[in-house]
Amino acid sequence: MIDAFTYRNGALHAEDVPLARIVELAGTPTYVYSATAMTARLKALQAAFAGQRVRFFYAMKANDHLAVLRTLSNAGAGVEIVSGGELARALAAGVAPGDILFAGVGKTRDELAEALAAGIAQFNVESVPELRALNEVALGQGRQAPVALRINPDVAARTHAKISTGSYGDKFGIAHDEAADALALAWSLPGIRVAGLHLHIGSQITDAGPLTEAYARLVDLARLFAEKGRRLERLDFGGGFGVRYQKGQASIDLAALAAQVRRLTEGLDVEIAFEPGRFLVAEAGALLARVVYVKENAGRRFAILDAGMNDLVRPAMYDARHEIVPLREPDASDAHGRVDVVGPVCESADIFGRDRILAGVQAGDAVALTGAGAYGAVMTSTYNARPKAAEVMVRGDACTVIRPRQEREAMWADERLPEWLDAR
């Protein structure tokens, strides 16, 4: 696997492009992505599971830019969607309907109808009411909907509480204990074709233990039904593969995971699906920002960036730690100069990191927040009337602005003033 961002001749590069050049081209704050790094991550997954019947469906919620979707779909990934908006986006990026899985706990009838008419590969149904609704929608269209039931296996993901989804008490899926009844119902509904089972226990999981424990529960169900002559075509094991947000941190051990999956599914004639999001794009992206001021306050040093929590919300929302590195390679001997790196937004939570080592950082310097390719740009807002950041994609020495910085006026262009407001 390649590192998307490396120092060369003292300057931080994305592939062959110096980040300083991107700052010149697009200003700050700007997201930059390495297309080669994304493709390499997908290839690493494909290689780890070579010889097994496995398909990867990119969870586009991680980064839904058309160029990212096109990069991964050109490299052989399908796409996992969670809304009608994501369906339209995926289709706009050129993804074939037959390569799309639809997950999500609250799909509306309109969304179900739209996806069914488009001919997507599979609905991951999360409840009995949703199953009945889909059956009715399908009968109305004179079709059968291919369905995988999402099971809540009641396995704790041992990750951050806000990104854990596979325990009883979480809103997701059908309780493992109630799965047999739900499946029996699914088989009895004429508008439903049972394709398989699905689960997803959480995100940023670096320990394969909880994952394989959950997979085993799904496999047990599949074996149980196979014995009764009810064959399932596909087991969808969801996403959740953890990445390295800091150097030296563990990421998921793919070889070990693939070996476990092979062992678990031995003799079971099923296709395995995975829905990785973060794994494919997180390390392939960075957020570039400029230091506006360095200020001392009651004994602490603050570096105030022109990027804020509206641009990258993960630190404020999940206590996430993203590395913050200068574009000029720091001198190894200079490990002093700890600063609190913060954004300009009027919220105390607008902090990217406390006590970070940013040797000699000065106003005007540009820095990169790494690991920002997943759940970065997609989670931005225009809070404090801050336009959405620009986005740039790099491959080799090619470098293109794939979204210009939002124009200020665009932030209110769709707002309307009631005509009676100024009337007396």
Q: Which residues bind ligand LLP (CB under 6 A)?
A: 59, 62, 80, 103, 163, 200, 203-204, 238-241, 275-279, 314, 318, 375
How many residues are recorded in the chain? 424
The encoded tokens of residue 313 equal 């919300």
- Complex with ligand LLP: residue 13 or 200, whichever CB lies closer: 200
- Complex with ligand LLP: residue 78 or 239, whichever CB lies closer: 239
Please tell me the distance from the alpha carbon of residue 223 to that of residue 277, in angstroms, as a whole number.
Answer: 28
Let me know the angle formed at the C-alpha of 324 by 346 and 309, rounded to the nearest 5 degrees.
25
Helices (H), 58-100: 66-74, 84-92
- Complex with ligand LLP: residue 62 or 309, whichever CB lies closer: 62
Q: Which residue in the list 50, 161, 346, 413 is annotated as catalytic?
A: 346
- Complex with ligand LLP: residue 45 or 137, whichever CB lies closer: 45
Nearest distance from residue 136's CB to ligand LLP, in Å?
24
* Sheet with 11-14, edge to edge strand ranges: 5-8, 11-14, 17-18
- Complex with ligand LLP: residue 23 or 205, whichever CB lies closer: 205
Let me know the angle formed at the C-alpha of 122 by 116 and 128, rounded to the nearest 5 degrees.
85
Nearest distance from residue 375's CB to ligand LLP, in Å?
3
Nearest distance from residue 360's CB to ligand LLP, in Å?
31
**Residues linked to residue 5 through DSSP beta bridges, in sequence order:** 14
Q: Which residues contact 177 (CB under 8 A, 6 or more apart)?
A: none
Nearest distance from residue 279's CB to ligand LLP, in Å?
6
Nearest distance from residue 182's CB to ligand LLP, in Å?
17
Please tell me the distance from the alpha carbon of residue 116 to that of residue 121, in angstroms, as a whole number.
Answer: 9
346 is catalytic: yes
Helix and strand counts by DSSP (H, E) for the chain: 11, 21
Buried b (16+ CB within 10 A) or exposed e, 65-94: bebbbbbbbebebbbbbbbbebbebbbebe
Nearest distance from residue 407's CB to ligand LLP, in Å?
27
Task: Please state the φ and ψ torsions of residue 14, each to the nearest 5 degrees.
Answer: -105, 110
- Complex with ligand LLP: residue 5 or 56, whichever CB lies closer: 56
Q: Which residues are catalytic?
A: 346
